[in-house]
Structure 1
Amino acid sequence: MSLVATDRYHTRGDLVLVLNCGSSSIKFALFDAGQVPLPKAPVWNGKVQGIGGPEPTYGETGMTPERVELDAGHPYRAALARIRLGVVARLGGRRLAAVAHRVVHGGNRYFEPVRIDAGILADLKGYIPLAPLHQPFALEAIDILLRDRPDLPQIACFDTGFHHTIPDVEQILPLPWDAWQRGLRRYGFHGLSYDYMSVALQERYGDLARGRTIVAHLGSGASLCAMQDLRSVATTMGFSALDGLMMGTRTGALDPGAVLYLMEIEKLSLQEVGQLLYHRSGLLGVSGISSEPRVIVRHENDQGESGDRARMALALFVRRVVREIGALAAVLGGLDLLVFTAGVGEHNAFVRERVCNHLAWLGIDLDVAANDANAAVISVPGSRVRVGVEPTNEEWIAARHALAVLETAAGAAAC
Structure 2
Amino acid sequence: MKSILTVNAGSSSLKASLYVIAEGKLNSILSYTASRLLETGAVKCKLSESGEVREYPLDMQEGELAHPAAIRGLLSEIETLDGEYEVVAVSHRIVHGGNYNKPQVLTSDVMAELRAKEPLAPLHQPHNLAMVQLMSNAFPEAEQVGCFDTMFHAQDRGFIRENYAIPKELRDQGVKRYGFHGLSYEYISKALKAEYPELAKGRVIVAHLGSGASLCAIHDGKPVLSTMGFSAVDGLPMGTRTGCLDPGILLYLLDHLGWSTDQVEAMLYKNSGIKGLSGLSGDFKAVLDADSAEADQAIEYFCHWTAYHMAGLAQSMGGLDTVVFTAGVGEKSPEIRSLIMASMEWQGFKLNEMRNAVNHRGVINTVHSNKSVILMSTNEELVLAEHASELLR
Q: Normalising by structure 2, report the TM-score.
A: 0.93
SS at 2:54 equivalent: coil
1:242 and 2:227 matched = no
CA deviations on 1:335-366 (whole Å, 9 max, x unpaired) are 11110000110010011111111111111121
Q: Amino acid of the residue matched to residue 384 of structure 1? A: N
From 159, 162, 167, give the equivalent of 2:149. 159
Aligned equivalent of 2:114: 124
- Aligned partner of 2:380 among 384, 394, 400: 394
Q: Please list the CA deviations of residues 135-180 of structure 1 after superposition, one character each: whole Å capped at 9, or x if unmatched.
A: 1111111123335543211111100000012323111111111111
Offset from partner CA, 1:198-245 (integer Å, 9 cap, x none): 111111111221210100000000000000121111000010110000
Q: In 2, are the aligned partners of 1:365 and 1:379 still within 8 Å (CA)?
A: yes
One-letter code of the match for 1:26?
L
Conserved? CA contact 1:194–1:225, under 8 Å: yes
Please say which of residues 396-405 and 84-93 is displaced more in the overlay: 84-93
Aligned-pair Cα RMSD in Å: 1.8
Q: 1:63 to 1:127 in 2, by over 3 A?
A: same
Q: Which has the higher contact order (CA 8 A, sep 6+)?
A: 1
- C-alpha separation between the residues in 2 aligned to 1:120 and 1:128? 13
Give the whole-Å Cα distance in 1 for the aligned partners of 2:140 and 2:285: 44
Conservation of the 8 A alpha-carbon contact between 2:42 and 2:55? no
Structure 2 CA distance for partners of 1:85 and 1:391, relative to 1, 3 Å: same
Contact kept in structure 1, 2:87 and 2:139, CA below 8 Å: no
User: 2:98 matched to which residue of 1?
Assistant: 107
In the alignment of these two chains, the number of paired residues is 385
How far does residue 71 in structure 1 lie from its aligned partner after superposition? 5.9
Report how far residue 398 of structure 1 moved: 0.7
- Name the counterpart of 1:384: 370
- Aligned pair 1:271/2:230, yes or no? no
**Percent sequence identity over aligned pairs:** 38
AA of the residue aligned to 1:43: I
Q: What amino acid maps onto 2:372 in structure 1? A: R
Aligned mates of 1:137, 1:292 — CA distance in 2: 20
- The answer to whether the Cα contact below 8 Å between 1:218 and 1:342 also exists between their aligned partners in 2 is yes
Cα contact 1:102–1:156 (8 A) shared by 2: yes
Amino acid at match of 1:56: G
Matched-pair contact (CA < 8 Å) for 2:58–2:73: no
Task: Give distance in 2, aligned partners of 1:328 and 1:385.
Answer: 16
Q: CA deviation at 1:50?
A: 4.4
Matched residue, 1:337? 322
Q: Note the 1:19-168 alignment, pairs <5 A.
A: 19-34=7-22, 37-39=25-27, 42-51=28-37, 53=38, 55-61=40-46, 62-70=53-61, 72=63, 75-90=66-81, 92-108=83-99, 110-165=100-155, 166-168=157-159
Q: What whole-Å deviation, never above 9, does each CA across 1:277-332 have from its counterpart, x for those lacking one?
A: 11110011111122233332334xx5xxx31x122211110111100000000111
Residue 349 of structure 1: aligned partner: 334
Match of 2:4 among 16, 19, 43: 16
Deviation at 1:25, TM superposition (A): 2.3
When structure 1 is superposed on structure 2, of 350-359 and 30-39 the one drifting more is 30-39
Q: Does 1:192 align with 2:180?
A: no
Contiguous gaps of at least 5 residues in structure 2: 47-52
Q: Does the CA contact (< 8 Å) of 1:55 and 1:68 recur in 2? A: no
Q: Which runs of 5+ in 1 are unaligned?
A: 1-12, 408-415
- 1:404 and 2:390 matched: yes
CA contact (8 A) 2:211 2:284 kept: no
Tell me: CA distance 1:386–1:144, structure 2 relative to 1, closer, same or farther (3 Å). same
Could you tell me how far apart the structure 1 residues matched to 2:246 and 2:161 are?
A: 19
- What is the CA–CA distance in structure 1 between the aligned matches of 2:327 and 2:172, rounded to whole Å? 34
Given that residues 278 and 297 in structure 2 are in contact (C-alpha distance below 8 angstroms), is that contact kept between their aligned partners in structure 1?
yes
Residue number in structure 2 paired with 1:5: none
Q: What is the DSSP-based 3-state SS (H/G/I as helix, E as strand, rest coil) of the residue aligned with 1:319?
A: helix
2:342 pairs with 1:360: no
- What are the superposed Cα offsets for residues 30-53 of structure 1, whole Å, 9 maximum, x if unpaired? 1222165434xx3211222344x5
Relative to the length of structure 1, the TM-score reads 0.88
Write 1 or 2 for the structure with the bigger share of strand. 2
1:216 to 181, 202, 207: 207
Q: 2:313 aligns with which of 298, 317, 328?
A: 328
Whether the aligned pair in 1 keeps the contact of 2:281 and 2:287 (CA below 8 Å) is: yes
Counterpart in the other structure of 2:50: none
Residue 207 of structure 1 pairs with residue 198 of structure 2: yes
